[in-house]
């Protein structure tokens, strides 16, 4: 099985999509008879690309985001057309059985059957939560390129249903394959974790949020909730500054809560695992997720989880988390007070969470993905 992969996500910050591609292909490379070539926009290589250094990536991305929306859209569109041209040249006469597109938009390619991973439909359903240039780019290319897709992989049954219903695609052409926490995420030694927390200048007891600081993550509701909680508990926000993130800051100033809100920016995986292991709970109030990987990562590290009851999150959390309505801050406040004030409940959530996280593995994700590739290419 010769696989051609869009490796562009691997050159980015290690967040949801890049983590999916890297963990999937680390396992894929271990499967017998699998040969992967990584296409980074110019050439194919047999070696998996390394992530760009976080500071460099954030700097480059911040500069791009300062461009006016029309300029950003134009540069992105031209770049994609050039990408497709080089991709077709790479794919032609190289004996690939399948092309795996992992970067949101299907490619215009005919020589190799294309499998597209769709993570969610937020660009359709939450257009106002994305930069305008990204929405315009999706509007221009997504549906026009869908005719080149042989099969779709998605990451939850929830998104699979949305794809079938909203895009009017036959269910036989869409396969849901769940993600998993990396083996890197496991409970850290308490003394080591506390030492790292102290180095970061964070409080001893805290709630945790993990994700890009963007509108879809619903941080304004989280800030409003802190103002009504019975427990005077601080929260640590982990993730790089995204787009349109000023609203929650304004809410924090209005509610006089800035002293209870700590931000770390992007952190490496060891630091993240220590934060998960030390937090009283992960609070994940997102309005919409295709999967919600921080939920499983937290559970794998022995961190209780409080998360939204919408989209894919109930499917991922199962009975191992406390669910709440992400449109009602009183509901979230009650959940936080319940978990923070009850040590026995937290211990029960930790136990259930560890069991829940253990049900997911990247090895199984890779095997199921390979089954799709074999079926699409006629190699099964």
Same fold, 2-180+361-377 and 190-357: yes
In terms of DSSP bridges, do strands 44-45 and 35-39 run parallel, antiparallel, or are they unpaired? antiparallel
Under the banding of pLDDT at 50, 70 and 90, the label for residue 244 is low
Q: Are 26 and 362 in contact (CB under 8 A)?
A: yes
CATH superfamily membership of 2-180+361-377: Glycogen Phosphorylase B; (3.40.50.2000)
Under the banding of pLDDT at 50, 70 and 90, the label for residue 241 is confident
pLDDT for 58 equals 66
Token pair in block for residue 188:
């850290």
**Domain coordinates of the chain in residue numbers?**
2-180+361-377, 190-357
Using the predicted structure, report yes or no on whether residue 245 has a pLDDT greater than 70.
no
Greatest mean pLDDT among 90-94, 112-116, 243-247: 112-116
Listing DSSP states for 336-375 in one string gives HHHHHT-HHHHHHHHHHHHHHHTT--HHHHHHHHHHHHHH
Does this model's pTM top 0.85?
Answer: yes
pLDDT for 326 equals 96
Q: Are 305 and 322 in contact (CB under 8 A)?
A: yes
Using the predicted structure, report yes or no on whether residue 129 has a pLDDT greater than 90.
no
Greatest mean pLDDT among 12-21, 80-89, 254-263: 80-89
pLDDT tens profile 155-167:
999 999 999 999 9
Rounded mean pLDDT of 25-36?
96
Lowest mean pLDDT among 68-77, 96-105, 234-243, 306-315: 234-243
Percentage of the chain modeled with pLDDT above 70: 95
- Nearest one of 264, 354, 341, 266 to 305, comparing CA atoms: 354
Q: Are 86 and 42 in contact (CB under 8 A)?
A: yes
Using the predicted structure, report yes or no on whether residue 140 has a pLDDT greater than 90.
yes
Using the predicted structure, report yes or no on whether residue 12 has a pLDDT greater than 80.
no
Residue tagged 């787009």 (tokens): 243
pLDDT for 57 equals 63
Query: What topology is assigned to 190-357 in CATH?
Result: Rossmann fold (3.40.50)
Rounded mean pLDDT of 293-298?
97
Under the banding of pLDDT at 50, 70 and 90, the label for residue 247 is confident
pLDDT tens profile 196-217:
999 999 999 999 999 988 888 9
């Amino acid at each position: 099985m010769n696989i051609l992969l869009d490796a562009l996500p691997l050159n980015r910050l290690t967040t949801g999509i890049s983590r999916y591609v890297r963990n999937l292909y680390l396992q894929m490379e271990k499967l017998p008879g699998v040969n992967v070539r990584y296409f980074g926009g110019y050439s194919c290589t047999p070696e998996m690309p390394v992530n760009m250094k976080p500071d460099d990536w954030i700097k480059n991305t911040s500069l791009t985001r300062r461009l006016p929306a029309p300029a950003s859209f134009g540069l992105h569109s031209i770049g994609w057309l050039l990408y497709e041209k080089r991709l077709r040249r790479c794919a032609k006469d190289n004996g690939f059985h399948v092309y795996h597109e992992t970067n949101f938009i299907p490619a215009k390619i005919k020589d190799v059957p294309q499998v597209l991973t769709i993570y969610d439909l937020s660009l359709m359903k939450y257009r106002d939560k994305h930069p305008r240039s990204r929405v315009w780019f999706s509007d221009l290319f997504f549906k026009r390129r869908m005719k080149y897709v042989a099969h779709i992989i998605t990451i939850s049954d929830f998104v699979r249903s949305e794809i079938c219903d909203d895009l009017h695609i036959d269910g036989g052409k869409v396969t849901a394959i769940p993600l998993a926490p990396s083996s890197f995420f496991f409970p850290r030694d308490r003394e080591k974790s506390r030492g790292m927390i102290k180095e970061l200048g964070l409080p001893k007891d805290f709630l945790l949020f993990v994700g890009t600081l963007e509108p879809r993550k619903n941080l304004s509701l989280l800030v409003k909730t802190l103002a009504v909680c019975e427990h005077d508990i601080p929260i640590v926000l982990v993730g790089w500054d995204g787009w349109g993130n000023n609203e929650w800051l304004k809410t924090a100033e209005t509610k006089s809560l800035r002293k209870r809100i700590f931000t770390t920016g992007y952190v490496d995986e060891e630091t993240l695992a220590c934060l998960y292991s030390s937090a009283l709970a992960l609070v994940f109030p997102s309005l919409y997720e295709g999967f919600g990987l921080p939920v499983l990562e937290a559970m794998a590290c022995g961190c209780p989880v409080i998360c939204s009851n919408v989209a894919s999150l109930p499917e991922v959390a199962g009975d191992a988390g406390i669910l709440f309505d992400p449109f009602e801050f009183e509901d979230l406040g009650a959940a936080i007070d319940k978990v923070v004030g009850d040590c026995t409940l937290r211990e029960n959530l930790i136990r259930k969470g560890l069991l829940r996280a253990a049900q997911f593995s990247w090895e199984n994700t890779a095997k199921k993905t390979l089954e799709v590739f074999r079926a699409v290419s006629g190699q099964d």
